[in-house]
Structures are given as structure tokens and as C-alpha cells.
Amino acid sequence: MKIHVAFLLPVLLCGILVTSCAESTENPHKSGDNPHAGSHHGEDAEGNKFSVDGVTYEKEVHLSNMHQFTFGGDNAEAYWSFDSNALVFQTANPKGGIQCDQIFVMDVDGDGTPSETPPIRVSNALGRTTCAYFMPGDTTVVYASTHLGDEECPPVPERGAEGRYVWPIYPDYDIFETDLQGNVVNQLTDLPGYDAEATLSPQGDKMVFTSTRSGDLELYTCDLDGGNVFQVTDELGYDGGAFFSPDGEWLVWRSSRPKTPEAVSKYKELLANDLVEPTDMELFVGRVDGTEIRQVTDLGGANWAPYFHPNGDKILFSSNHHSGGFPFNIFMINLDGSGLEQVSFDSAFDSFPMFSPDGKRLAFSSNRNNGRTRNTNVFVADWND
């Protein structure tokens, strides 16, 4: 459950407008010419000015040639294939028959625009799924699913004390490998408790994931067949959402670190009920062997969804430290915590930044250009240093 969007905005559970992308005969997401481009030229509610394309803000100097890949519903965690030609993402849309998150794959044309080929569902449509990532060769993907525990969608917990949002840590989540026709070809985890949030090294030789097998939410690495498991973190708090550095030697992740007796007690009580309240998080980096772990940000609020810049010296991430609530925007920071720079400027939500392996493009999810609805969509833009 790679930082399930719902913990920040209950409607961000990831979905698409069509009844079933896998069964569509026409791609409803095609945008050779973005049908919404230019329709919002002017300013948003916060006074941020749009560029002529209608989806990029003028302040977003690092982003150009932006295209919207989904139109309607909730779509998030779009991660690139090794060849930079496809994205795997999670989506849920009860109106379209997708009651809770399922995994889809969509192609990206060479010019950074959506392919005419419709997205296809690659999960088995059972239970709730999350956190998909391509395996080397781009013929299979890994994702977490609850379907072995229950083929129905698991219940969404009610809000906690004072109406604060709590995020379910479903103990039925295990990590699976599936082919692009939706056939599970391997189960990578089988221990009791939560196993999810798997991502791969750029070299395609290691996987990192989050698990409760120790009694706390910690990071682990393993081989691509699920073997040779190694625990990376061991400090109390929710360590998750990890990604490898370009050279595969480091990890970046977001973590809560309860310190006061009251915070520790609250964290443990929630976790005992398979819940967390992930609204206070900072970014950490460390070597894959668990050494040299250090905190990068000290901004306050929710700092999450980190990803290394292709040069390996900077991190992109989503944060609300500047707003205290909404918006969430994408920021960039040096590994030593200096040089903080705002990258995106939507007035509601930008998150899940990921560079294509060739370093040319950035995929992310955003509430921009959604017709004043709560829809979250996937966008791809060229990156300009």
C-alpha cells in the first residue's frame, strides 16, 4: 500500500472513468490533442497561472510537454517500465465496476503521449490491490493483494479520534507477480501480516518492501523470487514507500518516528488494530544494508512519496509542509536537506513523482484539470533541469 492516497484525501483511491479498461475497444484516455488542454487557461483558485497547454502552471519550470493520461475517477502510483514505454498504476471506480483498487498497465508513445492502445487490467479483480511495479523485461509486474484472505474488498475503517484519518494496514496483503494477461505466476511473500509497497532497483536485482513481520512496519530487501530477505530498518515507526537510488546502493523512504510517550502509545495502539495515522512523516535515506541511515527533511507535516533525481544527488517528494493541509505539492531537495525547491503548483494535490528510467520524463498524479471534481489523474511531462 505504497502510501495509499486515501490517507491524505479520502477520495484519492485511484480509479478510471471507463467500465473496464481491459475490455474497452477504444481508448478513453487518448490525448494526441488533450481534449481539456487550453480549457482552463488563466488562473486556478489560488491565483496560479496556467501555461498555454492548460495543464501546466507557469511556475512549473521543470515541466514541459505535459499530457494527461487518465480522465476521471481516481488514478495514482503510476510507475514506469524498465524500457520507459509503459506505466503500471492502481485504480478504483465504483461507478465503473471497480469497487476497490486494481492494477492496470498503459503504454506511453515515444513522444510522451498516451498510446492508442487501451489500458489493460493485469490484477485478478479480487480483493484490494496496491503498489505495482514492473519486473525486469517488462513482461510481468509485482503488486500486493488481499485476495487470498478475502476475495471481496476489505472494509475501509472509520475515522479515529477527533475525526483524524486512519490508514488500514490490511494483514491480508501479500506480494504477487503477475503476467500482463492477469495470471499470477508467483507468490513472493506468505508470512502472516502486512507485506506490500514493493519496488525494484534500477539494476533489476533487488526488491524493497514494507512488512509487519517483526511487529512493526519496517523495510526489507529481498531477491526477485522473494528469497534472501534482509531487514533494513528497526526503529519504531512506519517505515515505508521506499525507492532505490539510480546506482542501487541507497534507499529513500518516508517514516513516522513517534518520540513522546503519548505518541509511542498511540502508534502502538493503532498498529495493534492494523491502523496507522500517517500525517506526520519525514524523509530518510540509508544504504541498502541498513547502514548510514539519516533524516533528510525536518519540515513538519506529511512529507512522502520520495523518488531520487536521475543524478542521485536530489530527491523529489510530495509535501504539505507549506500549507499545513492542502495543497500537497511536489518539491525537490538535496540529499543533505538543503536547496528545497517547489516543483509543482496545483491548488489541491500533486504526488507520486517518478522519473522514467531514461531520465527524460516525470510521471505523477494530480487533481489539476479535473473540472472542480475530486478526480485524481495521471500526468506525464518532460523534465527540464
Q: What is the DSSP string of 168-202?
A: E--TT-EEEEEETTS-EEEE---SSS-EEEEEE-T
What is the per-residue pLDDT for 34? 36
Q: What is the DSSP string of 198-253?
A: EEE-TTSS-EEEEE-TTSS-EEEEE-TTS-S-EE---SSS-EEEEEE-TTSSEEEE
State the Cα–Cα distance between residues 332 and 335, nearest whole angstrom. 10
- Cβ contact 328:351 at 8 Å: yes
- Cβ contact 374:72 at 8 Å: no
What is the per-residue pLDDT for 249? 98
Give the DSSP H or E segment for 271.
Answer: helix 261-272
- Residue 376's DSSP bridge partners are 74
State the Cα–Cα distance between residues 112 and 384, nearest whole angstrom. 14
The one-letter code for the residue type at 24 is S
Residues in contact with 151: Cβ distance below 8 Å, sequence separation at least 6, in sequence order: 126, 127
Residue 173: name the closest of 189, 152, 156 by CA: 189
233 C-beta neighbours (distance < 10 Å), count = 23
CATH code of the region 5-383:
2.120.10.30
Residues in the chain: 385
Residue 208: name the closest of 189, 236, 182 by CA: 189
User: What are the backbone dihedrals phi and psi of residue 22, each rounded to the nearest 5 degrees, phi first?
Assistant: -65, -20
- Could you list the pLDDT tens digit for every one of the 385 residues in the chain? 443 333 333 333 333 322 233 233 223 333 333 333 333 445 665 667 877 777 899 999 999 999 999 987 889 999 999 999 999 999 988 878 888 999 999 999 999 999 999 999 999 999 999 999 999 999 999 999 999 999 999 999 988 777 778 899 999 999 999 999 999 999 999 999 999 999 999 999 999 999 999 999 999 999 999 999 999 999 999 999 999 999 999 999 999 999 999 999 999 999 999 999 988 999 999 999 999 999 999 999 999 999 999 999 999 999 999 998 889 999 999 999 999 999 999 999 999 999 999 999 999 999 999 888 888 999 999 999 9
State the Cα–Cα distance between residues 19 and 351, nearest whole angstrom. 25
Cis amide linkage into residue 327, ω under 30° from 0: yes
State the Cα–Cα distance between residues 254 and 150, nearest whole angstrom. 29
What is the per-residue pLDDT for 60? 97
Taking the model in full, what pTM does it have?
0.89
- Residue 195's DSSP bridge partners are 211
Query: Hey, is 335 helix, strand or coil?
Result: coil
State the Cα–Cα distance between residues 68 and 113, nearest whole angstrom. 8
